[in-house]
Structure 1
Amino acid sequence: MVSSATPEEREKLWVNIVEADKFWIAVSLILGLLSHASRAYRWKFLLEPLGYKPKFYNSFMAVMVAYLANLGIPRSGEVLRGATISTYEKVPFEKAFGTIVSERIADLIMLLLVVATAILLQTDTLLNYFNDQDINPLMAVGIIVVLVVGVLVGVRILKSSTHKFFVKLRTFAEGLLDGMKSILHMKNKWAFIFHTVFIWLSYVLMFGVIKYCIPGTENLSIAGILAAFAVGSFAISATNGGIGVYPFAIGAILIYFNIDKQDGEAFGWILWGSQTLLNIVLGGLSFLLLPILNRKKT
């Protein structure tokens, strides 16, 4: 942590951040922006089978509003994203949210592929890192199993109950399921797959190019980038946008790749700070512009 660093270490960290190559930060921001635009465009392939064709700018701003919300309350952005597109494009919330769940399943598969690749390339390094940080990856698997079992039990209760509350909940769940099943009825499956791969390739690239910002990280290997990307993804998933954790997680894993701690933490701060600022600016603008651009609808 910054508070435990020596004055010399804090000074080096600050110099690394201030003197970072702005060109590569700009490249990273452009890649981040492209990934957000691709995510918004990909969404239409899930909504079309349900009979909805939202305007791209509404989809994009809904995505950005979601990213902004996630900085405050983890995972609240998905709910707000569904509510936003429901408000401005008249898509039933439960169906919109169902398509978002399907998206997240596709994203989870991509994340697992990246993590699996990182583990294959750097098994000992990642296992040592998890051990040193007292992180138990099996716990995450256990939580997923518990959630799946809970969902299955809940489905059985919904199907058999005649109580008014559960009947309403069943109607909502059926709409949610319709949204989730839209992934099976897409006409443009290959376009959806292309955008999914493009989004995650953009994520890895926007992460990787930051190494050129700092002299101490410019020789970081692809294996090191993937390992740090995997660790950073877990840090973001476990917190509200990685606040207070992300830079230190990146600095901690990069030590295993012979990167100085302050260089690694500067890498994390530059990436997290620039992308977070992008999300705050675009998310804030989206909040302001959505009601203005949709004035006639509202």
Structure 2
Amino acid sequence: MRVTLRQLIQLFISLAIALGIFWYVYQDLDGSQLSSALSEVSLFWIGVSVLLSLVGYWLRAWRWKLLIDATESNKPTVLTAFWALMFGYVVNLLLPRAGEIARCAALKNTNRLSVGSLLGTVVLERTIDFAFMLCLVLLAFMLEARIFLEMMDNLFSWQQVLSLLSEYGVLLLTVTLILGVTLATVLRRIQGSAFMSKLQGFFRQFVKGIKSIANLENAVSFWVSSFFIWIIYYAMMYFITWSMDSTSSLSASSILMVLVMGSIGMVAPVQGGIGTFHALVAFILVFYGIPESEGKVFALVVHGSQVATVLILGLVSVAMLGKLTWKNKPGQGSLRKDV
């Protein structure tokens, strides 16, 4: 996958933002205090959480394969989809959202599949995950309404929001119209060009991937796996709270609230949710009477354990995908027989 100058600039900007937020969150936590808190963390419960994450990753790969099988005749194995998924995750640690393209490119190389169709399945996956996350937010709001409203009051001043809209609303509308006219002009000029023809072909494959949900052989398995992926996410958070004394007494609904805030932090456009995850998790734990310093340590434990898991599996995936790409390359089978 070729990296452009624009992507490099995006990489450095998002990394600077992520590290800036991370530094801001942890600047008042000295090294001795942090090491002392980490030394008391239970590795057993962290291990349980990591093992559950492996089940979740495998389930994600299996669900993705269900969508791919509905659109492609050259079907990858679950293991190949798993390695492509982990490769995508490790790329996301370097360049936000690039991992979605990277995992599609990986399967293109190993199984000669259409990137456009694969991207369609990924967008469909992400849309469904977003819908499930919204359901979690609503459930958390119903169970923890008091905390939710208190938190929103601390985060937003609706009067200030309305004031900004009234002051800059016209400017925002003008910029939107200018961008719309510019886009329409560009599209009109490239209409009928070779580039437009390729773009239309890619879009057709993309739509084909999105429509894969209508061609599923086992729709029940797809929806059940989508549901259990989030059950596993919750179980990961539930068990890892037992790794620290300060978080071990959190109620089931409180843990759901922490999961929601962590999920919001992870979808921020920074590498692997660095900084944003830590800030939001530590922030919500304060509302449950957990000292800010303890909340920051907990966020570090949760995020660090998952980043370590992704890094290890991601590096292994590079080797495995390289091997699979060479193995499935046209003519390589006969070459190995000759050797």
The interval holding the TM-score normalised by the smaller chain is 0.7 to 0.9
Cα 1:172–1:285 change in 2 (3 A) is same
**Which residue is 1:141 aligned to?**
none
Q: Is there any run of 5+ residues in structure 1 with no aligned partner, and where?
A: 139-145
- Equivalent of 1:3 in 27, 31, 54: 27
Tell me what 1:84 maps to.
106
Give TM-score, length-normalised by structure 1: 0.87
Aligned-residue offset at 1:79:
0.4
Alignment counterpart, residue 32 of structure 1, candidates 24, 42, 53: 53
For residues 164-179 of structure 1, what are the structure 2 equivalents within 5 Å?
A: 164-179=194-209
Cα distance, 1:135–1:263 mapped onto 2, change above 3 Å:
farther
Q: Distance in 1 between matches of 2:45 and 2:97?
A: 29
CA shift for structure 1 position 130: 3.7
Map of 1:100 onto structure 2:
122
Q: Which moved more, 1:78-87 or 1:221-230?
A: 221-230
Q: Deviations over 1:81-126 (max 9, x none)?
A: 1111111011111011111111111111111111111111223323
Are residues 1:260 and 2:281 paired? no
Distance in 2 (alpha carbons) for counterparts of 1:16 and 1:209: 18
Greater displacement, 261-270 / 92-101? 261-270
- One-letter amino acid of the structure 2 residue matched with residue 132 of structure 1: N
Alignment root-mean-square deviation, CA = 2.3
Using the TM superposition, give the Cα deviation of residue 11 of structure 1 relative to its aligned residue in structure 2, in angstroms. Answer: 4.2
TM-score (norm 2): 0.77
Q: 2:277 maps to which residue?
A: 246
Pick which of 274-283 and 97-106 moved more: 97-106
Q: Structure 2 CA distance, aligned partners of 1:198 and 1:64?
A: 19
The CA distance in 2 between the partners of 1:264 and 1:12, in whole Å, is: 13
Matched residue, 1:200: 230
Deviations 1:11-49 (A, max 9, x none): 444322222111100100001010000111111211112
CA distance in 2, matches of 1:198, 1:135: 36
Match of 2:319 among 274, 280, 288: 288
Change (3 A) 1:135 1:244: farther
Give the 3-state SS of the residue equivalent to 1:295 in structure 2.
helix
| C-alpha deviation, 1:296, in angstroms | 2.2
% identical equivalent positions: 30
Shift of 1:214: 0.6
Tell me if structure 2 keeps the 8 A contact 1:13–1:263.
Answer: no
Tell me whether 114-123 or 61-70 shows the greater mean CA deviation: 114-123
Number of residue-to-residue matches in the alignment: 280
The question of whether the paired residues in 2 share the 8 Å contact of 1:125 and 1:256 is answered with yes
Q: Mind listing any 5+ residue stretches in structure 2 that lack a counterpart?
A: 1-24, 162-175, 330-339
Which of these two proteins has the greater Rg computed from alpha carbons?
Answer: 2
Letter in 1 for 2:279: F
2:220 counterpart residue number:
190
